[in-house]
Every structure is written in structure tokens, then in C-alpha cells.
Chains A and B, each alone.
Chain A
């Protein structure tokens, strides 16, 4: 509750490069190689020499050590390296870490990266069934769920979704509208796994249950790939290859009585207080509000939490996201186009990092599904976990 009114790095730092591998179901390459390819691509995109990189940030869930990437690409000396915990909740926070390092003078060029063989290797969708029961708190938190068969992210989210439906009157079709919008956007994005493959609401309703009330088409993909992002000062970014995507705000958030995907002990299960903590900081720091945003890249590992986020970010009132998504607001051309790249349901699941890259493209004006006259885009990271968010804007 003691967050600063305005973060000092905001408006002084920028995303100046993005790079990714292809998004596939079987990369055929090591995770480290995916990370190296993505970092190299992001530096090329920015037009920055590898030798200029002095900072690296990734997820604590990532298997690719900073020093391995530095060694592979000949990055030389590093003065800053940091990792963020809590799975996909780390995504936007890697950018915040980088921006803080740049703004404070600790580093000048920081690359954020995430790479994995999440489909062909260790599948997150399989859950924690193979997790060894180690006698520590990190492991013991699953003791209250896994032995009872509540093993997967889908099952943890479904417990929220059931209660949300019960209290708000939201239906499975309302969740389906998120999937339909994502897949429609992905269908015109050549980088998306589901390029050329839109779905209908009927397809969603006909898809099998994974964990009731969640259907297959409520669940994001599992993906092999890597994504990297380059953060520099805004001043430096202005001299680089592309228009800067200015970091107007970046924030992390953990709510009261926070658990990892299983915050079942708060008053009710219809809110994501951690995202509220993020939203408050984003709006305070950027000085804008929901009405000033032309596009939202919201973390969509499972459709229900997209509705929660629309409410937490203030795009609609509590319990009214179902109405918000019913009138086409989240389609391109609507009030708040959602995930123009197709999101993690449509493009690929890169733990939220591909969404940040899409936000950068939207700010540059180079996205395949470009939102016209865009000034600000909001991006969020993993939901149901301690999370993070960004407001990116044009350099005007």
C-alpha cells in the first residue's frame, strides 16, 4: 500500500529491440540455443552490438543462465543480472528490473529473455504431478492441492472460474468470447501458431472439458520458443533503428493473502487483488487511465482471468466483464482491442514475453494487426500469481 506515486524510471527508459524464434510445438533445439537466438535477434532489431550489453534479466523459472548466454554471444562483462520469480507473473517485471537498472546507472543496455521447450520438453500443462515432495515452503505449498488431484494450472484457475460464474452469472460462452477474439487475431498473424485458423463460439462450446468449467479452447497453447526484449534509456533509444516504445509505467504486485495460483482464502474468488496492486501503480505512474489506452495485451493462459483483468484494470466495473466482452469491445475496431497478435491462445505461450513484444510493435506502428492512432498500450503478466504490468507509449 506504500507504492510511490511515480516511478523515477518511467518516461526515461524504453524498449528499443525485440527478437524471437519461431513459435512451435517442437523446436528441435536446446532451450539455451532458443534463448541465444532470441537475444541475438533482439539486439539486431535494436541495432546494438553484443558488446554493449551489460545487463541480463530473466525469470527464475528459466533454465538458461545469464552467463551461458553471455558466453555464447560474447557479451563480455555484465554489471547487472537479476531474475524474477512466480512463473509468468515475471514477464513485465523483467522489463521493470531492466528499466530500474538503466535509470539508476547500474547498466546501459539490458536484455530481458525467456526461452523454453515448453511443449516438447517440460510441459507446464502436465502440472506438478512429478514434483518431488521436498521439505521446504516452495514445495509444501502444493501439499494442499496436488495430493487431491488438483495438479495443473487449469485446475487451479477452474476453481476461481466456477465461483466467478456462480456469483456474476458469467457463462462458458463469455469465456469463449475471449478465445474467439484471440484466435481471430492470430488467424491474420503469420507468426502465430494458429495463423489462418480462427474459431467460432460454437467451436469453443463443442471443445472437450479439461477441468470443468474450463474447456480445451479456454486454455492457452503449450509452445517451444524464445523471446527477448532490449531495454535502454529513452535517450539512447532515440538514436536506434526503431521508434522507441517508451516505458510509461512498470509495476509488480502481490496482494494480501497471496498464494501461487491458489489464493482461495480471500473473501471471495472473483478478484485478483495482485493485479489491482499493479493497476494502481500503472495508472498513477503513467498519469493516464483506462480511457487513454487503445489496446490491451492481457495475459491469457486461461480465458476467465482475462475477464478478471478487465475489471481489475478498470476497463469495466466488477462483475461486468461479461457484458464488456459481449458487445465486441475486445475485437480489433472495438473499444479495447485485445491481444492483436492472438495472445497466448492464438500466437504462442512465451510466458507473457511475446505479448510485450506485440505491445512494442503496436507502439512502433509495425504490427500485423495494427491498431490505428495508438498512443498507449497496457500489458499484463501471469495471473493468479504475484504479477506485473506495463504501460508502453509512443515518444510524443
Chain B
């Protein structure tokens, strides 16, 4: 987290340094629209053996998938493949998957853009995956002997979403299936959630932390932390930044304000080491710091990644964001570089 780059953002010069949550999001968004290039052919043409395995496994007794006569009786020119079997024709198979893993481990090609994207999310801690949706459109039946090719493209990558499984990004891939003549036969939209597995309740940031009381004046802050962004109020009239939140600007009394992102980096202005009393949600001794952000605002949060004896006033720190329960994420400081 400490190696995040910073970038310059829009309207408020004082709030120009932007945290890593936004950088990752930008990187993810850059994958949108990227495709695998030329359609790649399936290993095998549509064939009876694979169909038989599929319908037996699925318990599908419709005779049009196996019996030529039954198919003709339905007005079909011959046996067709079960439509839902579409993806099976282009799956790369076990060996190809192993080869891809090996290549990735050796630092060679990361494969298709989808493979690259998956690797990127793995590195960012979104190591788990679950398929959430699959939509298929069939343009014509597939017959024995049809040889399909597929071209995949990344249709969308969502922002960070909180789900019952954990925080993650939804990826939607579009696959265009064509036949040997290059004619479209089907399309598929496949959506997965790549997520950070939820930590156990007794972990360092447990479920029993006191919950913040949230009002209409402060809700934006916690919406920001859920997206890994540190948001503060910026006066809509004079632009002065403020934290903790308040309904009006103490400089010009304007009730107008925007939530702007500020860098989660700053210096320790003061700190304490809590020993007693001990609350189950925290690990003690617990370091809590008052940090002066680079924008000049101050914020309190606990610290990780440092021994209490090594904390010092003036220390450079940077906040990451961690979920404390299913809804609330909070900043947590670490020394820069650790």
C-alpha cells in the first residue's frame, strides 16, 4: 500500500494528492474495452462424444441432442448441441491452464487482458473469485461439425463494492462466438466478483470495534472509506477544507460543501499507547495517533505495522483502509514504507 503513486486531481489544489484507492481504480478502468484480439479457435469441433457427456451429466433426456431421427422429426437438419453447452466448446482445458500459471510464475506472458486483470486483482488482495451472472444469446443452433472460435473482451470493471462475501470488483466479460465462416452464432456476458475474503471476527480489525455514530453531516466520510478514499469537506464557497465534518464553514458560514479526496499521508503530531482498559476488538498495547495530513488537516486513527516504542512525533505515516464490520471501513496508519 505504501508504494502507491500520487496523482494530481481537479478543482482543489490543496487536495491534489490522491490516494492509492483511486489509482487502482484508474488502472482497472483502463482494461475496459480491451479484447483478446483475433478470435481463437476451439480445440475440437462440435461433436457427439462431448455432447453425450454433457447431457448425461446434466440429466437432459431431450433426444434432439443424440438422435438424428428425433432431430429431423422436430424440423432440424440434424443433431444439435445443447445451447447451454456453448462455453464448453471453447474452454481451454486443464493443461492450458497449468501452462498459463507456469508462464505467469516465470514472469512470462500474463496471457489475455482478462488474465492480466485477474493477476492484477490478485496482487491487490482480491484473491477470491465467484461467478455471479451468465447471459447467453443464441443466434442459430450448433450442429455436429461446427468449428467455433471465440473473441473475448472486457466489457466493464466496477468500482470497489461491498458484498456479503467481502469487498471486491465485478468484472464483466463479453464473448463473441463465430463459426468457421466467421459468422456470429452466439454471444455471452459473463460476470464474476473478484473479492478480498472477509477476515475472521477475531482478527486485528475485528467485528467488535465501537461503531461510529453517523449523521447526514458525516456519512460521506464513511462512504469514502468504503471505497478506500479519504474524503474531507471542502467549503463550496471559499474552498477551505475541514475535518471533522461540520454543517457549515467556520470561515465563511457557507452551508455548501463538497467531499474531496485528500492524500492519506501525513506526520504524527501526537500519539498515545493504550494499555487499559482493554476492549476485545483491539490488540494491546494499541498505538493511536493524531496525524497532520499533508493538506494540513488532522485526523485520529490507530496505527499498525510499528512497535509502540518506535512511534515518534514527526513520523511519516500513510493510511490504508480496513473493514471493521460488514459496512464500515476505517483508515489505519502505518509508517511510510512499511
Contact = CB atoms under 8 A, between A and B. Distances in A.
Nearest to A145: B300
Contacts of A158: 272
A147 B330 contact: yes
> What are the 10 closest A-B residue pairs judged by CB atoms, nearest first?
A143-B212, A139-B213, A133-B213, A212-B273, A163-B270, A158-B272, A146-B210, A140-B213, A148-B302, A133-B211
Given A133-B210, A136-B215, A146-B212, 10 more contacts: A129-B279, A131-B213, A140-B215, A143-B213, A144-B299, A148-B300, A149-B282, A159-B290, A212-B273, A212-B308
Contacts of A163: 269-270, 290, 313
Interface string B216-228: 1110000000000
Given A135-B214, A142-B213, A209 B270 contact: no
Interface in B170-214: 209-214
B31 interface: no
A206 interface: no
B95 interface: no
16 contacts: A133-B214, A134-B213, A137-B217, A142-B210, A144-B300, A147-B324, A147-B328, A148-B300, A150-B272, A152-B274, A159-B272, A208-B275, A211-B272, A211-B276, A212-B272, A269-B290
Nearest to B333: A148
Interface stretch (A38-46, A120-128, A278-286, A292-300): A120-128
A162 interface: yes
Nearest to B314: A166
Interface core residue of A136, A148, A162, A211 (most chain B CB under 10 Å): A148
A170 to B, nearest CB: 14
B244 interface: yes
A160 to B, nearest CB: 7
Contacts of A129: 210, 277, 279
B248 interface: no
Interface string A146-188: 1111111001001110110010000000000000000000000
Nearest to B211: A133
Contacts of B274: 149-152, 155, 211-212
A263 to B, nearest CB: 11
A265 B298 contact: yes
Given A208-B275, A210-B276, A144 B270 contact: no
Contacts of B299: 144
B301 interface: yes
B24 interface: no
Given A143-B212, A212-B308, A150 B300 contact: yes
Contacts of B276: 208-211
Contacts of B330: 147-148
Contacts of B214: 133, 135, 140, 143
A125 B288 CA distance: 18
Chain B's interface size range is 35 or more
A135 B213 CA distance: 6
B286 interface: yes
Contacts of B143: none
A377 B322 CA distance: 52
B171 to A, nearest CB: 32
A156 to B, nearest CB: 9
B271 interface: yes
A143 B218 contact: yes
Contact of B215 (A135, A162, A166, A257): A135
A148 B210 CA distance: 8
Contacts of B288: 148-150, 155, 159
A125 B278 CA distance: 11
Contacts of B212: 133, 140, 142-144, 146-147
Contacts of B301: 148
A166 B275 contact: no
Contacts of A269: 269-270, 290
B244 A159 contact: no
Given A150-B300, A163-B313, A166-B270, A210 B275 contact: yes
Given A144-B244, A159-B270, A149 B302 contact: yes
A134 B209 CA distance: 15
A308 to B, nearest CB: 14
Contact of B272 (A135, A140, A155): A155
A137 B215 contact: yes
Interface in A52-89: none
Interface string B285-302: 110101000000011111
Given A134-B213, A140-B212, A209 B273 contact: yes
Contacts of A264: 269-270, 290, 298, 300
A147 B321 CA distance: 13
A159 B288 CA distance: 9
A213 B215 CA distance: 33
Contacts of B271: 159, 162
A160 B313 CA distance: 12
A158 B287 CA distance: 12
B272 A162 contact: yes
A116 to B, nearest CB: 19
A144 to B, nearest CB: 5
B39 to A, nearest CB: 52
Contacts of A133: 210-214
Given A148-B301, A149-B302, A136 B213 contact: yes
